Structure 1
């Protein structure tokens, strides 16, 4: 075995980065792990994403049963991105994805081995945290991840809601125009780069993200219709917003009953958001506006003539999970809306963030966390600290649920005052 390889818990299983020549075997293992063996090989997509050292596999040498050929039975991929934190700074993070273990090799410690390999390397690269989208709630807490950015959305009955209220503030002289795929591909990335520093929890969209949604890449199993993309521009031609949506052709006899599903919504300011929502609710034949990928703090219901016409989308749930790897770097990067001081006793199975820390925020919004011997106010696992880090969680709620321990009376409320933000974290992008 090379320096980057490790023996799996089962004799004969090796966990290591894959080579370029093993992409096809790795792709097959992903299809089996996600129980989609009918999907055609994603050759073009895997080639585009391949990065030496960042695609891991667990290989079962098998012995005589497989003719001595090692077979990939578990997969893991990570890539570098940036996470917007309160205040607008971009925190370097390790994004974990493509995590699978074949059904024939579960409960053998393969996920633990791959996760340990990746997070150790991420810390060495200087990543302050790791993020992932959890398919199941009970898997990743033991690795120090906690739910940090929920996914929330709305399903709006256009007739019951009365649509968007008249007279909402908009940019004078603004215009909304449909964009071609070429225009989407050309101007979308720049708009997103201007938008994401304004939204805590947002992450970068790599080049492959835009190419896939512009139809430049074929990814078997990726169900993506072109839909409609509209750009919002101010009177001077500045691009300030974008909406992408589909409309299903559904009728109730002779009456239109079409749902409009919003798949992407970016607005740099409130006026742009108002104009784009007004546009969405004005589309002919649309009976329901469905927006599953909005943040928990989205104002859409309050823009309606009757907010009761909006119901929470059924897929609202935890979404992006966060694992803190470097507490001083992470807490120095974000900003704080109130000054304060709190001593945290942090447990961490990996040992990377374990210890007693004092978190201090100054009146100017800056803050820092440093080791201390002072008595602790709160005792919590690093996974719970990850849930609080972006400002979307509540220490008081976690304390009530016995998910952290309040050692000083009132410390959980003080933690919420110190860490919570007026703008809830939101990440609309799976990865």
Structure 2
């Protein structure tokens, strides 16, 4: 599920009828009206009741809604959050509040509903001990005012198999390994364990709830979101241990009597480079496929360089900012990740909610650990909490943000110093919408 509040691009403007609007957590018995409201909020036809699927992830206090009592108590806005873990540089799992299912009906825009739901949830998340909140923003201009900033990018490729010449023959692959196709039942059995191992190796990755695997393998379906069985294969090493997985579908298109099919990569997990090469070899060997399309495999993925002619790969047209992050506990979050170089920088942070507000000294050591503490020292860099969220995982550059007038250097070289401490060898990447 994604996040959206269609048409909300300005500040919330109170209306005299706001006293008729109630924002609160729903009960489990109210899931049917919440389910209908989310379809309306996402501008989707309501084709069936998804209550039973939503019941599997229901948690008291985490499903919010707005009710308009001037219209018989109709549900006009939805909001949901759940506890997740975010892998940060160094491999630690940060406890985060995952925000999703955010909608406001077009009849109730700019009446403060999103602000009330969001601020209530973030305050509760901070009390629970979440160090940050994350979401996927359907619209760019909504969530910055709540302290969220783009923290990862969705990045993929379209590869013309003929022009690229396919994969190079000299790529290393595991010795004694094998690739097997799985049934949906086998994916549910073996996929979660592999993902748990993989996500701790990839900064930016998040946990996949049990219901995720059920929805992705067709055991459960939400009305209106059609599921079709595709192809899932795993790589096993010489000892039989699963080290990678690829899930894809085939767009079956023919040019008269000639096949012109596209293979769409939907999930790609590999614990090591040779396993990844073996899985790509499978994708590029499928009969009738003329184009391999990987929608979201990360900015750092070397796929084009694996080809005989890298010019056969073009960036996917849907590349854009993906997961957004909002820091709730600055000292806790910065102590959790590791750093590539020792150093010290002082950040002057503004935060409308006050949680990250203040002057912070980030100090890192040669062993990769770091701490972030309040200080009275002069600051090197001034920025908002949204920009701090963009920098936290190391994907964004402070120098780039300074050039765009999103951060301000208070001392010459402050942005470059921040990049030296915060940037990572591998950019953070999250493959999962939520």
User: When the two structures are superposed, what TM-score results if normalisation uses the length of structure 2?
Assistant: 0.95
Q: Does 2:176 align with 1:173?
A: yes
Provide the rounded CA distance (Å) in 1 between the counterparts of 2:244 and 2:401.
36
Q: Contact 2:36 / 2:46 at 8 angstroms: preserved in 1?
A: no
Provide the rounded CA distance (Å) in 2 between the counterparts of 1:222 and 1:334.
37
Q: Residue 16 of structure 1 is aligned with which of 3, 16, 24?
A: 24
Aligned partner of 2:421 in structure 1 is 418
Q: Does 2:330 align with 1:327?
A: yes
Aligned partner of 2:6 in structure 1 is none
Q: Residue 276 of structure 1 is aligned with which of 276, 279, 283?
A: 279
Q: Contact 1:379 / 1:404 at 8 angstroms: preserved in 2?
A: yes
The correspondence of residues 28-427 of structure 1 with structure 2, limited to 5 A, is 28-62=36-70, 66=71, 69-427=72-430
Q: 1:20 deviation in Å?
A: 1.1
- Considering only aligned residues, what root-mean-square deviation do their CA atoms show, in Å? 0.9
SS of 2:156 mapped into structure 1? strand
Q: Contact 2:264 / 2:293 at 8 angstroms: preserved in 1?
A: yes
Provide the rounded CA distance (Å) in 1 between the counterparts of 2:168 and 2:223.
42
Q: Contact 1:347 / 1:355 at 8 angstroms: preserved in 2?
A: yes
Q: Contact 1:28 / 1:37 at 8 angstroms: preserved in 2?
A: no
Residues 402-426 of structure 1 show CA distances to partners (whole Å, capped at 9, x for unaligned) of 0000111011011111000011111
Provide the rounded CA distance (Å) in 1 between the counterparts of 2:65 and 2:186.
38
Q: 1:252 deviation in Å?
A: 1.1
Q: Contact 1:88 / 1:197 at 8 angstroms: preserved in 2?
A: yes
Q: 1:46 deviation in Å?
A: 1.4
SS of 1:23 mapped into structure 2? helix
Unpaired segments ≥5 residues, structure 2: 1-13
Residues 53-99 of structure 1 show CA distances to partners (whole Å, capped at 9, x for unaligned) of 0000111111xxx4xx3111111000000000000000000000000
User: When the two structures are superposed, what TM-score results if normalisation uses the length of structure 1?
Assistant: 0.96
Residues 376-431 of structure 1 show CA distances to partners (whole Å, capped at 9, x for unaligned) of 00000000000000010000000000000011101101111100001111100000
Aligned partner of 1:5 in structure 2 is none
SS of 1:97 mapped into structure 2? strand
Residues 9-33 of structure 1 show CA distances to partners (whole Å, capped at 9, x for unaligned) of 7111111100111111111110111
Larger mean CA deviation between 8-17 and 364-373 belongs to 8-17
Residues 295-315 of structure 1 show CA distances to partners (whole Å, capped at 9, x for unaligned) of 111110010000000000010
Q: 1:222 deviation in Å?
A: 1.8
Q: Contact 2:40 / 2:46 at 8 angstroms: preserved in 1?
A: no
SS of 1:294 mapped into structure 2? coil
